[in-house]
Structure 1
Amino acid sequence: MLKALIFDMDGILVDSMPFHAAAWKKAFFDMGMKIRDEDIYEIEGSNPRNGLPLLIRKALKDPDAYDFETITSIYRQEFKRIFELKAFDGMKECLEILKAHFLLSVVSGSDRLIVNGILDQLFPGIFDTVVTGDDVLNSKPHPDPFLKAVELLKVGKNECVVIENAVLGVEAAKRAEIYCIGVPTYVDPSKLDRADLIVGDHKKLMEHLLNLK
């Protein structure tokens, strides 16, 4: 029996990844490196501790030569400066209906301050548990963030569905042995082929979720 829905935040609840990408590109530029939007989208879901080495290698540099705290600090300042808060159309109303039938959770690789700030403004009182990049040592694609959410929700893995838009997020859900719905918000659908179900856009996602109740 389905008891809980576990949502990624960036790209599922909030149309925020273009701002994350712009902020990371600014941070890398300031440190003398160049990365592409596609590089950032492909490691979406990881926290800075795990994701930065991957991005620095994408820039053809040695991660050991850079201070992660400095890069992350520039990113946070730039993200705060440029970010425009916007939920996907209809998502808040959809979640309010779903909350009457399921436990709801967010699992995000972003910083706790960023995640809580966004959820408090756009979805106050909606989610029963929140797991951020600060709450686990191993971020997506490791299963740990989703297993942490299952533990906090006090349900079985077979009683949950994960909703993800990121390659690493889908990988993490499947490694956690949880059914996963993929939404190709920023990547080609073929990159989410490990998902149990791929829906084409947010309208189709919300229709599907509302039919689960």
Structure 2
Amino acid sequence: MLKALIFDMDGVLVDSMPFHAAAWKKAFLEMGMEIQDEDIYAIEGSNPRNGLPLLIRKARKEPEDFDFEAITSIYRQEFNRIFKLKAFDGMKECLEFLKSRFLLSVVSGSDRLIVNGIVDQLFPGIFDTVVTGDDVLNSKPDPDPFLKAVELLNVGKEECVVIENAVLGVEAAKKADIYCIGVPTYVKPSELDRADLVVGNHQKLMEHLLSLEPLFSPEFIPGRRR
């Protein structure tokens, strides 16, 4: 029954969340607020439109007192300045093999420019669809981003597996009624207990993915990018 694999990006494909956290912390400091890494990891997967109010309240301020675009602009500038692009070891090779067996998608809450830039540099030509935080109104933990990917892939929810490392991402996958594998990159494994399967690390994740059997060979799908 399996046709498609849907990957979160930050923390699953690339080791990027520490840079996101540092950039958001700088943006908040420039606005006179202080937040902690764990506050940012707790809302990983949401887009700025939905995540910023939560972070501002964590800083004991009222969201309506701040210009979201100004905060986001500082964050983007700092992220681009400090970010060091790095895929998890073995992930590109794993994806290249999986592409011969499954449809592949990325679903991320990050900005379209950031997501597409990373995908184009590290994983060119690998993914059939990319859904970013700019492509849906309601971000994770709402199911909309994953449902959008299912729609674009033209498959059934029961024919997909989501790979997530964030609490909100796992919640979104389960709200979408999609089987979910959790990998605890930045959180404790127990925090991902709503996932159908939790693997201990990226090595175990890749071993499991490489053992999956497809329902069909996706190279014969009409219209698929080759």
- Match in the other structure for 1:206: 206
1:101 matches 2:77 = no
Please tell me the root mean square deviation across aligned C-alpha atoms, in Å: 0.4
Q: Distance in 2 between matches of 1:151 and 1:119?
A: 20
- Match in the other structure for 2:221: none
TM-score (norm 2): 0.94
After superposition, where does 1:1-213 map in structure 2 within 5 Å? 1-213=1-213
AA matched with 1:169:
G
AA matched with 1:168:
L
Q: Distance in 1 between matches of 2:112 and 2:34?
A: 27
Q: Distance in 2 between matches of 1:48 and 1:191?
A: 22
AA matched with 2:117:
G
Deviation sequence 1:123-144 (CA, Å, 0-9, x none): 0000000000000000000000
Q: Distance in 1 between matches of 2:171 and 2:115?
A: 21
Give the percent of matched residue pairs that are identical in Structure 1 and Structure 2. Answer: 86
AA matched with 1:48:
P
Q: Distance in 2 between matches of 1:203 and 1:17?
A: 19
Q: Distance in 2 between matches of 1:86 and 1:119?
A: 11
Deviation sequence 1:162-213 (CA, Å, 0-9, x none): 0000000000000000000000000111111100000000000000000003
Deviation sequence 1:13-57 (CA, Å, 0-9, x none): 000000000000000000000000000000000000000000000
Q: Distance in 2 between matches of 1:199 and 1:99?
A: 21
Q: Distance in 1 between matches of 2:99 and 2:123?
A: 11
Q: Distance in 2 between matches of 1:18 and 1:124?
A: 24
Q: Distance in 1 between matches of 2:62 and 2:187?
A: 27
List gaps (5 residues or longer) in structure 2: 214-226
Q: Distance in 2 between matches of 1:96 and 1:188?
A: 29
Q: Distance in 2 between matches of 1:163 and 1:24?
A: 25
List gaps (5 residues or longer) in structure 1: none
- Any idea what SS the aligned residue of 2:100 has? coil
How many Å apart are 1:159 and its aligned residue? 0.1
Q: Distance in 2 between matches of 1:42 and 1:188?
A: 11
How many Å apart are 1:58 and its aligned residue? 0.6
Q: Distance in 2 between matches of 1:147 and 1:136?
A: 10
- Any idea what SS the aligned residue of 1:204 has? helix
AA matched with 1:56:
I
How many residues get paired? 213
TM-score (norm 1): 1.00
